[in-house]
Amino acid sequence: MAITTSICNSFLRELLLEGHNISSDTLKLALIKENESGTYNDTTVSYDTVVSNSDEASGTNYSAGGVALTNVTVGSLSDTQSGNRAFFDADDVQFTNVTVTASGAILYNDTASGNPAIAVFDFNPVVSATSGNLTVTLPGPGTAGDAAIVRIANS
């Protein structure tokens, strides 16, 4: 018998379920307009920052606040080549019948106080739709959770 020092995979998963209850809170993806005035990166703390900078995209049939993620799941994987992973995944996000242009997006928790940011995405290049659907493809967890939208690794 042996004991190996490590963080338990169950704990990694619980991190995603506590302060942000990923599996039950409403998570939204809002579009950031082209030629935004703010800087959005790992230091972005809230969707409200996008709003206060007047940087949320706007257009026909685009609703301020964005679209709620659906079928959000939290999981964990064990992979002998890549280590252990905890992740969350959701269906791709579709903005339906919109005319809008965006250079990026912010994923945030609409349930938690202050609309805290989870992640920001640079579309590079800019994307647009004219009286059509704009789909943001969210990466799935892959075989080792490497591509998931948010993943926590223990390697």
How high is the pLDDT of residue 88? Answer: 79
How high is the pLDDT of residue 117? Answer: 86
How high is the pLDDT of residue 2? Answer: 32
pLDDT in tens, the chain (155 residues): 334 555 556 565 656 666 677 788 999 999 999 999 998 888 888 999 999 999 999 999 999 999 999 998 887 776 555 556 777 789 999 999 999 999 989 988 899 888 888 888 888 889 999 999 999 988 777 655 456 666 666 55
| Enclosing H/E stretch for 51 | helix 47-52
The single-letter code of the amino acid at 153 is A
| Positive/negative CA dihedral, 125, 126, 131, 132 | positive
Give CA–CA dist 103/68, Å, rounded.
19
pTM over 0.85: no
Burial class from Cβ neighbours inside 10 Å (0-12, 13-18, 19+) for residue 40 reads: buried
